[in-house]
Amino acid sequence: MASTRCSHRLLTASAALALVLFALPAVAQERVGVDTAVNPSATATPPGGTTRPIAIKEDVLFNEHIATSSKGQTQILFLDQSAMTIGPDSDLTINEFVYHRTGGPGTLAMSTVRGVFRYVGGKVSKQGSVTLKTPLATISVRGGIMLGDQVPNGRLDVYFVYGDEIAVTANGVTEILRRPGFAITVAGPGAPPSAPYRAAPGALAAIESQLDGQPGGNGGAPFVPSEAIVTASGIGNTISGNFSGSLEAAAQSQPQAGAPALIDPTGILSDLQVNSIQAQSDYHIRQIFSYYVP
Amino acid sequence: MLHNPADLNVGFAYADISARLGNDEAAVTTLERMLLFRPDLASIDLELGTLYFRMGSFEVAQTYFEKAMATHPSPEVAARARRYLGAIASRESPYRIVGQVLLGTQYQSDANVAPASTLLQSQIGTIPLARQFVKQGAASTFAAGSILYSYDLGTQDRDTFEVGGAALVNHYFNLGRLDVDFGEVTAGPRFRFPDTALSWAHSASLKPYAIVDEVGLGGQQYFYTLGTGLEGTAVLARDVSARVVFEFRQKKFSDAPDRPFSKGLSGSDKLIWLVLSKPITSNSTLGAELGYLDQGTRYAFYGNKTYALGASYRVRYADPTGTLSLPWKTTFYANHTWSYYGAPDPCCDSSGPAMAFSPSTRRDSDWRIGISQSFPITETAALVVRLQRDVVSSNLQLYAYTNNSALLGAEIRF
């Protein structure tokens, strides 16, 4: 099959067909991604199903509700290679996922009620629409990476990390994030989004710390990496070892004006019209000009 | 990756390939998963910090580098993290200074941009020009520099306030009356539009600015300028970069004993300039320039309208001799300008009836071709060699000349 399509409309149609031919769960089981790391505890509840603990390598299903405990974390890798990581005391539901492997715009719609999250864009976010609904706002991502924190029954903070833009819409008002390190806050129910502002020092680090593993946790992996394994992989030579390449990439990500052009020492006399006036002190030219010009 | 996300070998290989292909987001996803597997790996923090650094997300990058430094890193990891933290410190500062300096010497076959003929047809008959106003070869030493100070105004779109400066000192060994001392300052805000919502322009910037300059010739003030300008830049479709400049300059010239009618050049300049560039391959760029300059002057015969057309090709390639580790750069360029003056010039008689003075309105045509070769010694320093030929033809023989020049200089960028 060239594409994976999971929309409400498709689901409705499929469900009707399934009721006639097979059983409803067969449709609801459609896979949208995989749990690629899980620190306990995290649970998944399929629509109409029972809650179960989730583990690494398990499929994430359409409309499944995922939740973490006070120490739980999980990373979901979607079929379009985008990823959503949620931290402790967080939840997430995949409401819609349309992804065409052969290209074309897709859709990823998620919702959350609480918790911290990091979304890293994949193919859908570059070509189509990615939205995350919270009780306070709808967040739309175009390319890139965002961090967020939805306090239960409280404020929402959205941080721009990388990409084209993130739009936050609440109470009929939309604000746009475009610059890394900037944030938008929705103060509470019924409030509009704030204007974009530079995030307070440490705010991003505080969220990252809730998403990057727990002391003693192994994400469900049977074998965990070590410094020796990382070194042997050679990835350090490709990424951090290429300092000049990193500088060049960083410069491209932040277009800045260069210094003015140098003045040409060879063409300067011509540019200054010196050829027009240099013979003025020649005796004859001076006589002519004295007579002719005012 | 979806089949076995816990396979470390596959994960690192995937992150490596993604980073090589410029898909930093995919590499981030994979390495952040590694931190869920084990959160206390300084080397993973280092690589993640570098990926965010590449993306220009310096706050997040700093978080990972500092975490790496706090996780008992190996000396190599610590050294790399410190180096990146230093680079972040310079980029996080709201102000930035960049510039370049070119110091060197040049020889010009017609250094005084004068005609080759010693005889001039004038309204009082054929006159001999004094020798100093006829073509002279001369060598000079020069120092050219430019600098840009920009201050980040802290807006989301990275608007800045910029102060730019350009200066040139060019002194001849034996032609002191044509020594040039030039200094110019421009200042103004640059407003950026990272997403124009236009199908033909991805991003753009607009900069209104003020201009002040002072120019000396032969050790005396030549003129000063007050003006304003508006610069627009845009990244267009197909990777074409465009820069368009509108300038209005009010120039006030001063006379000197050896140029008693320089004030006749005082007036206003109106300039429109368009520069386009497009990468042709990963190591070469094609450039084009279109210009129009309207020079209004006190003496109408100095006033002119000039049209310019230029093209350049710049290519970067490995040192064919294997002596230098950095790539050489070669630029070929050619420009043509046409100048149409505003009134008959009293300097010269031109093909009128015998015994009757018949001045003509000046028309110049200037061809400039050249090649510039840069030999980088370090990332910021290079030797520059340039050969150039200017051929100016004019219907008035006083203004026609041909100048061949050779330039050797040392360039430093900062």
Q: What is the pLDDT of residues B137-156, one digit of tens each?
A: 999 999 999 999 999 999 99
Give mean pLDDT, residues B357-365: 85
Q: Which residue has the higher pLDDT, A119 or B126?
A: A119
- The pLDDT, as a whole number, for residue A13 is 41
Indicate the residue of B83, B162, B261 with minimum beta-carbon distance to A289. Answer: B261
B50 and A246: CB-CB below 8 Å?
Answer: yes
Confirm whether B8-92 and B95-413 share one CATH topology.
no
The verdict on whether omega for the bond into residue A41 sits within 30 degrees of 0, i.e. cis, is: yes
- The pLDDT, as a whole number, for residue A24 is 37
The residue ranges of chain A whose pLDDT is under 70 are 1-29, 294
Indicate the residue of B114, B123, B166 with minimum beta-carbon distance to A260. Answer: B166
Q: Which residue has the higher pLDDT, B264 or B346?
A: B264
A36 and B392: CB-CB below 8 Å?
Answer: no
Question: With contacts defined as CB-CB under 8 Å, which chain A residues touch B144?
Answer: 262-265
Could you state, in order of their start, the residue ranges of all structural domains in chain B?
Answer: 8-92, 95-413
- The pLDDT, as a whole number, for residue B356 is 63
Rounded Cα gap, residues A169 and B165, in angstroms? 44
- The pLDDT, as a whole number, for residue B179 is 95
The answer to whether B35 faces chain A, any CB pair under 8 Å, is: yes
Give mean pLDDT, residues B223-242: 94
Q: Which of B256, B235, B231 is nearest to B244 (CA)?
A: B231
Question: With contacts defined as CB-CB under 8 Å, which chain A residues touch B124?
Answer: 284, 287-288
Superfamily of segment(s) B95-413: monomeric porin ompg (2.40.160.40)
- Secondary structure of residue B99 in the 3-state scheme: strand
A211 phi, psi to nearest 5 deg: -115, -10
The answer to whether B14 faces chain A, any CB pair under 8 Å, is: no
B55 and A145: CB-CB below 8 Å?
Answer: yes
Q: Which of B89, B279, B251 is nearest to A277 (CA)?
A: B251
Give mean pLDDT, residues B197-203: 78
CB atoms within 10 A of CB B398: 24
Question: With contacts defined as CB-CB under 8 Å, which chain A residues touch B302?
Answer: 273, 276
CB atoms within 10 A of CB B67: 25
- Secondary structure of residue B173 in the 3-state scheme: coil
- The pLDDT, as a whole number, for residue B338 is 97
Q: Which residue has the higher pLDDT, B348 or B304?
A: B304
- The pLDDT, as a whole number, for residue B352 is 57
Q: Which of A81, A83, A92, A116 is nearest to A208 (CA)?
A: A116
**Structure tokens, B304:** 């002119």
- Secondary structure of residue B181 in the 3-state scheme: strand
Average pLDDT of chain B to the nearest whole number = 92
What chain A holds in terms of domains, given with CATH numbers, is 3-221 (2.60.120.1440), 264-294 (no CATH)
- The pLDDT, as a whole number, for residue A29 is 63
B50 and A284: CB-CB below 8 Å?
Answer: no
CB atoms within 10 A of CB B379: 10
pLDDT in tens, B18-64: 999 989 999 999 999 999 999 999 999 999 999 999 999 999 999 99
Residues of B (366-395) whose Cβ lies below 8 Å from A: 366, 368, 379, 386, 388, 390, 392
Indicate the residue of A77, A227, A263 with minimum beta-carbon distance to B144. Answer: A263
Q: What is the DSSP letter of B131?
A: G
A241 and B167: CB-CB below 8 Å?
Answer: no
Give mean pLDDT, residues B188-209: 87
- Secondary structure of residue B41 in the 3-state scheme: coil
Q: Mind telling me how many Å the CA of B363 is from chain A's nearest CA?
A: 12
Q: Which residue has the higher pLDDT, B348 or A45?
A: A45
Q: For residue B220, give every residue at least 6 positions away whose Cβ sits within 8 Å of its Cβ, in sequence order, or none.
A: B254, B256
Superfamily of segment(s) B8-92: Tetratricopeptide repeat domain (1.25.40.10)
How many contacts, defined by CB atoms under 8 Å, are there between A and B? Answer: 354
B32 and A212: CB-CB below 8 Å?
Answer: yes
The answer to whether B287 faces chain A, any CB pair under 8 Å, is: no
What is the share, in percent, of chain B residues with pLDDT greater than 70?
A: 97
Out of A203-217, A252-266, B71-85, B395-409, which region has the weakest mean confidence (pLDDT)? A252-266
- The pLDDT, as a whole number, for residue A2 is 38
Helices B8-20 and B24-37: crossing angle, nearest 10°?
150
Side-chain-facing half-sphere of A99: CA atoms under 13 Å: 22
**Residue B357 pLDDT level (bands cut at 50, 70, 90):** low
The answer to whether B84 faces chain A, any CB pair under 8 Å, is: yes
Question: With contacts defined as CB-CB under 8 Å, which chain B residues touch A130?
Answer: none
Q: What is the DSSP letter of B140?
A: E
Strands (E), A23-164: 31-39, 42-45, 52-53, 59-61, 65-68, 73-78, 83-86, 91-100, 107-111, 115-120, 129-133, 138-142, 145-150, 156-162
Q: Mind telling me how many Å the CA of A128 is from chain B's nearest CA?
A: 16
Question: With contacts defined as CB-CB under 8 Å, which chain B residues touch A288?
Answer: 122-124, 346-347
- The pLDDT, as a whole number, for residue B351 is 59
Place of tokens 């290519």: B315
Q: Which of A61, A69, A68 is nearest to A34 (CA)?
A: A61
- The pLDDT, as a whole number, for residue A15 is 43
Question: With contacts defined as CB-CB under 8 Å, which chain A residues touch B83?
Answer: 243
Question: With contacts defined as CB-CB under 8 Å, which chain B residues touch A81?
Answer: 1, 26, 29
Q: Which residue has the higher pLDDT, B174 or A3?
A: B174
